[in-house]
């Protein structure tokens, strides 16, 4: 096992073979990341953000345009994939159809010429871990998607890799199987404590599995932190709206000063939300920015509430919870209620916002506006 270090990593796909001689933008731009030994890191981002490209560069399947990759202390830039001591598990299972599960799991070790008894010992050791002990004699066609993915992961970890790389291993599975498999992966990694890079576009998978999440957009690392950090303390609007379901409400706002107090005000809406005191040093009357607040931090006030009366535009009863949408200008502000009350469109509720939970973002760049730290 070893840690992983990415230093100023760049990737630009070469377009020279094509007729149009346009210069591609970087698929990965100046990526720096240190992953400690035994950590589970998720690369999270929308499709096309460069997360898989990065993974493939780490695996050695893609050339590096610029920068360095270290596995442990070893610079692996020019190392052949087979010499990097990595285990790979892809989205599609790519199994050898004529071999049974045992044969598939043992394939790599056999190719390396590992002793037969040793192979058998390792297969028998890993099979119960991945719950495939009953499947060893089966052929791949007989397996369900979830079972195939188990075999696929078993095959990756049997090599006792220094680094385990997984590329959307759950995206082929349906909802229920995915949920079950997520739990299994979590337990497995907890047991073998192998340094793992896990690529996904599903924020829920990243949040539930990873020790740390690297959020990438347009090839640029946006934020690298624990799930709690990226959820509670996002660095910009992109991270804030990418993490969490339903996503954070983000509204354009103009700050107004009323009786020496600052309020968020919104175009075409009577809603006013007090600005937390800690932001007083960075805002002034007429300041324009974006305000973000998570749907769980918007509440329906009781009868004595002094919240703003607002009309319900949408009410969705989802069984486990209920979601209310309120028009603030042309944006729908979402909130979640867990009370059993059934509202309907047109009902008036008193809207309360947990002011201390609001975030401010720059209206142009989307960067977080933070309170000034005291010197």
Q: Work out whether 176 is an interface residue with other proteins (CB under 8 A).
A: yes
Q: How far apart are CA 135 and CA 210, in angstroms?
A: 29
Residues of this chain, 289-348, that bind other proteins according to CB under 8 A: 294-296, 313-320, 323, 325, 332, 334, 336, 338, 342, 345
Binding status of residue 29 toward other proteins by CB under 8 A: no
Question: Which lies closer to other proteins via its Cβ, residue 46 or residue 110?
Answer: 46
Q: How far is the CB of 204 from other proteins (least distance, A)?
A: 5
How near is the Cβ of 334 to other proteins at its closest, in Å?
A: 7
CA angle 322, 328, 332 (to 5 degrees): 45
Minimum gap (Å) between residue 245 Cβ and other proteins: 6
- Token pair, residue 122, equals 């390792």
Beta strands, E only, 203-307: 212-217, 220-225, 249-258, 261-265, 272-274, 288-293, 298-300
> What pairs with residue 272 in β-bridges?
265
Q: Which positions ≥6 away from 70 have C-beta within 8 Å?
A: 4, 5, 6, 7, 76
Smaller CB separation from other proteins, 208 or 265: 208
CA–CA gap between residue 343 and residue 133 (Å, rounded): 51
Identify which of residues 166 and 209 has a Cβ nearer to other proteins in the complex. Answer: 209
136 to 175: interface string for other proteins, x by CB under 8 A: --------------------------------------xx
Residues 223 and 215: their CA atoms lie apart, in Å, by: 5
8-state DSSP, 371: P
Q: How far is the CB of 199 from other proteins (least distance, A)?
A: 16
Name the token pair of 186. Answer: 């979590």
What is the footprint of other proteins within residues 181-220 (CB under 8 A)?
182-183, 186-187, 190, 201-204, 207-209
Judged by the rule CB under 8 A, the positions of this chain that interact with other proteins are 46, 174-176, 179, 182-183, 186-187, 190, 201-204, 207-209, 227-228, 231, 242-247, 294-296, 313-320, 323, 325, 332, 334, 336, 338, 342, 345
């Amino acid at each position: 096992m070893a840690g992983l270090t990415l230093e100023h990593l760049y990737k630009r796909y070469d377009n020279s073979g094509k007729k149009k001689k346009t210069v591609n933008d970087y698929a990965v731009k100046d990526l720096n990341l240190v992953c400690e030994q035994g950590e589970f890191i998720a690369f999270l981002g929308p499709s096309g953000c460069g997360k898989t490209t990065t993974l493939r560069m780490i695996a050695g399947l893609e050339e590096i345009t610029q920068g360095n990759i270290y596995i442990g202390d070893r610079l692996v830039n020019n190392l052949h994939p087979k010499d990097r001591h990595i285990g790979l598990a892809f989205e599609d299972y790519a199994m050898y159809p004529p071999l049974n599960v045992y044969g598939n799991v043992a394939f790599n070790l056999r190719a390396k010429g590992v002793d037969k008894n040793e192979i058998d010992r390792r297969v028998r050791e890993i099979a119960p871990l991945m719950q495939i002990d009953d499947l060893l004699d089966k052929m791949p066609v007989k397996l369900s998607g979830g079972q195939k993915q188990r075999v696929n992961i078993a095959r990756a970890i049997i090599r006792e890799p220094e680094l385990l790389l997984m590329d959307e291993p759950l995206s082929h599975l349906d909802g229920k199987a995915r949920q079950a498999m997520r739990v299994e992966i979590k337990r497995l990694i907890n047991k073998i404590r192998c340094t793992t890079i896990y690529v996904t576009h599903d924020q829920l998978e990243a949040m539930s599995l990873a020790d740390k999440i690297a959020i990438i957009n347009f090839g640029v690392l946006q934020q690298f932190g624990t799930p709690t950090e990226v959820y509670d303390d996002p660095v910009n609007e992109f991270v804030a709206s990418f993490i969490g379901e339903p996503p954070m409400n983000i509204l354009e706002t103009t700050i107004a000063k009323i009786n020496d107090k600052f309020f968020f005000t919104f175009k075409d809406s009577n809603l006013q939300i007090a600005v937390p005191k800690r932001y007083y040093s960075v805002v002034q009357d007429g300041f324009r920015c974006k305000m973000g607040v998570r749907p769980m931090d918007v509440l329906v006030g009781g009868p004595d509430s002094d919240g703003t009366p607002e009309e319900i535009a949408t009410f969705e009863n989802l069984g486990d919870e209920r979601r209310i949408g309120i028009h603030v200008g042309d944006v729908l502000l979402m909130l979640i209620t867990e009370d059993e009350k059934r509202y309907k469109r047109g009902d008036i509720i008193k809207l309360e916002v947990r002011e201390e939970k609001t975030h401010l973002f720059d209206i142009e760049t989307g960067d977080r506006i933070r309170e000034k730290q005291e010197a």
